[in-house]
Structure 1
Amino acid sequence: MEILELARRAAELASEKRAEDVLLLDLRRSCGFADYFVLCTAASEPQVKAVAEALEDTLPREGLRLLHAEGVPASGWVLLDFGAVVVHIFAPPEREYYNLEELWREAAPLLRIQ
Structure 2
Amino acid sequence: MDNKEIIQLIANACDDKRAEDIVALDMQDVSLMTDYFLICHGSNERQVQAIARSIKDSMEEEGIIIKRLEGYEQARWILVDLGDIVCHVFHKEERSYYNLERLWGDASKVEISVGHNG
Shorter-chain TM-score: what band?
Answer: over 0.9
8 Å Cα contact 1:8/1:24 also seen in 2 = no
TM-score using structure 1 length: 0.92
RMSD: 1.4
Superposed counterparts of 1:74-113, under 5 Å: 74-111=74-111
Superposed counterparts of 1:1-114, under 5 Å: 1-111=1-111, 114=117
Give the superposition deviation at 1:60: 2.6
Which blocks of at least 5 consecutive residues in structure 2 are unaligned?
Answer: none
Give the superposition deviation at 1:73: 4.8
Total equivalences in the alignment: 114
C-alpha distance in 2 between matches for 1:47 and 1:96: 17
Structure number having the greater helix percentage: 1
8 Å Cα contact 2:42/2:91 also seen in 1 = yes
Runs ≥4 in structure 1, deviation > 2 angstroms?
72-75, 111-114
Give CA-to-partner distance per residue, 1:54-78, whole Å, 9 cap, x none.
1111113324310011112534110
8 Å Cα contact 1:46/1:73 also seen in 2 = no
Q: Secondary structure at the match of 2:66?
A: coil
Distance 1:83 1:5, change over 3 A: same
8 Å Cα contact 1:45/1:73 also seen in 2 = no
Aligned-pair identity in percent equals 36
8 Å Cα contact 1:24/1:36 also seen in 2 = yes
Amino acid at match of 2:36: Y
C-alpha distance in 1 between matches for 2:6 and 2:64: 7
C-alpha distance in 1 between matches for 2:43 and 2:53: 15
